[in-house]
Structure 1
Amino acid sequence: MAAGRTALVELDFGTAAIPAPLMAVALPPQTLALKLQVGARTLVQIDRRLVRIPYSLEDALVVVRASLPRLPDDADGYLLTSLPDAHPAEAGEPGFDDHRLLTAVRQRYVRYHVDLTAGEAKWLAGMSANARSGITRKTRKVAAANGGTLDIRAYRTPGELAVFHRLARAISATTYQERLLDAGLPDDLADLLPFAATDRLRAWLMFVRDVPIAYLCCTGDGGSLRYAFVGHDPAQTDLSPGVVLLAEALRQLFAERRFVRFDFTEGEGQHKRQFATGGIACIDVLLLRPTIANRVTVSALNVFERGLTIAKRAVTHPAIKRFTRTITR
């Protein structure tokens, strides 16, 4: 186990069958921002010191008894991400409240993945005709902008990673992932070097006229390759470089046969649904000590999420849509 990480110990949640992270380990406690967001806009931010337990795709695909680390005295609670949504997950249900932990489900989503053992032909056959033609059309458009051919370069070794990182960081600095979501390519090359040194890194850059316009950097986790860092030059959005780059990267991974799955990780998106061959319903769960401050936090989070859900349902109601069309004519 890596130095500085918390050892896992058994902690039963009553009789509930809660999946345990088989490969993941608990990260040291850190201050994380719990955000009340509408789209990319943050309305309120509440900081809590949490032990984060990120579940890998392998963890999410297997359901076993629960294991959690002992909660350090200076931590407010746990944040479990990509927990399979196949067990009690709401506040007050058996399993979570047995240990008097306050519960809030932060988000629900499908964790999509691509079965890389199936082969490229089967992967393409599983897409709709419109999706396949869309990829072909966008690929031709990028090739035309580059004089008739695609220029996508692959990187995997430590030496190649250094070249990739310098060029990709320049792109990342311009992206919304970095500016709004704090999810750009890491500034420090050392964060990625261990993956390259152990053949667990695959990265690609797309060039147009020898100018890099898009990057994709993936890191290995067991038999899966994670869709870790991605971005493109906003000035090149009309070329749909991200879709073309992802399609070419997957073709290379099918041919290489080094990894079993391509893991799209947390969150959803049209491109993930389009490219995936499967998915598993997951949730991110917040478990906090029952202090007054944490009770207020959980109440605020739950009320906000319920309000957001009601608002989303309201704006899609047929009567509301008809009213909106009437007043905007």
Structure 2
Amino acid sequence: MNDVAVLPLRFQVGARTLASIPRRLVRVSYSLQTVLAGHVTAIGQPTPSSDGFLVTSMPESQLERVGTAGLLRHVRQRYMRYYVDLSTGMAGWEAALSGATRSGLKRKAKKLVAASGGTLDVRRYVSADEIATFHPLARAVSALTYQERLLDAGLPSDAGELLRLAAADRVRAWLLFLEERPVAYLCCTADGDTIRYDYVGHDPAIASLSPGVVLQAEALRDLMKEGRFRWFDFTEGEGQHKRSLATGGVACMDVLLLRATLVNRVALRALGGFDSAVAVAKRAAAHPTLARLSRQVRR
């Protein structure tokens, strides 16, 4: 079991946190292999020093099997945990993509090639020495991204852990260059035959060139050519490029499991009401009339 840590219960609208309630929680995360197998281990009851658990990537079909009787339950989000079966090989993977995705990848790569003077400049980094070269270049890109500015999810400023993993051959990283300037990065760490989608970002100034999805596709082709890993794990959360490039997905959710105290009941009731209000607002904003009004207001 993981250690107890102070984790905030966030009241969020998109990437923006409006308020938070600190709770002492044990974070429980399930590996892709566990999610695919569909047999999670029992979580049990929280220790006296904790308020409960934050469980991520819980397969929806397994929630009743984790042994959490008596705990308050709140589902924070539901999503597909997407993955790529790298054993299909490049031909098999590309054949499984939709026609629109294949043509879109070709079109986006062609635009980048044209913008960079006729070449698609993607560079691969594996060894500890190579990761030492990669890190400051990728950090310069990460500092520009919304992942770092809004989500505190940029590439770590300290390269120590990445260098340690690279020395054990557990890192694969790529940079996309445009006119000799790094504009997008992807850094993945490995566990056994699974490699994870850990850190990613691109320069927002060239977002119209779709550098992130082009780099992702090139990285997947590189991994299939290498042949070492079986699975590429897109981890928690959804996204258009995950859906379009994946070969499969498992319905998962992130769940809070808290002690049945008065404070926790009030916190979860407030959080549930807030999440419901945000969901209603999102559905309302998607209505064609309101969408048109929003566009007119922004003009």
Same-fold status (TM-score > 0.5): yes
Distance 1:234 1:195 in 2: 29
Query: Which residues of 2 match residues 252-267 of structure 1 at below 5 A?
Result: 252-267=222-237
Aligned partner of 2:43: which letter? L
* 1:285 maps to which of 255, 259, 268: 255
Deviation of 1:261 after TM superposition, in Å, equals 0.8
1:59 aligns with 2:34: yes
* 2:79 maps to which of 109, 113, 117: 109
Query: CA contact under 8 A between 1:56 and 1:221: conserved in structure 2?
Result: no
Query: CA contact under 8 A between 2:40 and 2:62: conserved in structure 1?
Result: no
1:241 aligns with 2:216: no
Query: Which residues of 2 match residues 1-329 of structure 1 at below 5 A?
Result: 26-64=1-39, 66-68=41-43, 71-88=46-63, 98=69, 100-316=70-286, 321-322=288-289
Query: Aligned Cα RMSD in Å?
Result: 2.1
Distance 2:206 2:245 in 1: 22
**TM-score, structure 2 as length reference:** 0.92
Distance 2:13 2:293 in 1: 26
Query: CA contact under 8 A between 1:96 and 1:103: conserved in structure 2?
Result: no
Distance 2:200 2:56 in 1: 20
Query: CA contact under 8 A between 2:165 and 2:189: conserved in structure 1?
Result: yes
Deviation of 1:63 after TM superposition, in Å, equals 2.6
SS at match of 1:184: coil
Distance 1:327 1:229, change over 3 A: closer
Distance 1:243 1:327 in 2: 29
SS at match of 1:34: strand
- 1:34-83 per-residue CA deviation (whole Å, 9 max, x = no partner) reads 11111122222111111101111111112336322663332111111001
Distance 1:246 1:75, change over 3 A: same
Aligned partner of 2:42: which letter? S
**Percent pairwise identity:** 54
Aligned length: 296
Distance 1:304 1:148, change over 3 A: same
SS at match of 2:62: coil
Distance 1:325 1:188 in 2: 45
Distance 1:65 1:299 in 2: 27
Return 5+ residue gaps in structure 2 as ranges. Answer: none
Greater RCO (CA < 8 Å, at least 6 residues apart) = 2
Deviation of 1:327 after TM superposition, in Å, equals 10
Query: CA contact under 8 A between 2:44 and 2:66: conserved in structure 1?
Result: no
Aligned partner of 2:15: which letter? A
Distance 1:103 1:154 in 2: 43
Higher helix share: 2
Query: CA contact under 8 A between 1:151 and 1:207: conserved in structure 2?
Result: yes
Distance 1:313 1:229, change over 3 A: same
Distance 2:146 2:284 in 1: 29
SS at match of 2:87: coil
Query: CA contact under 8 A between 2:125 and 2:134: conserved in structure 1?
Result: yes
Aligned partner of 1:205: which letter? L
Aligned partner of 2:25: which letter? L
SS at match of 2:58: strand
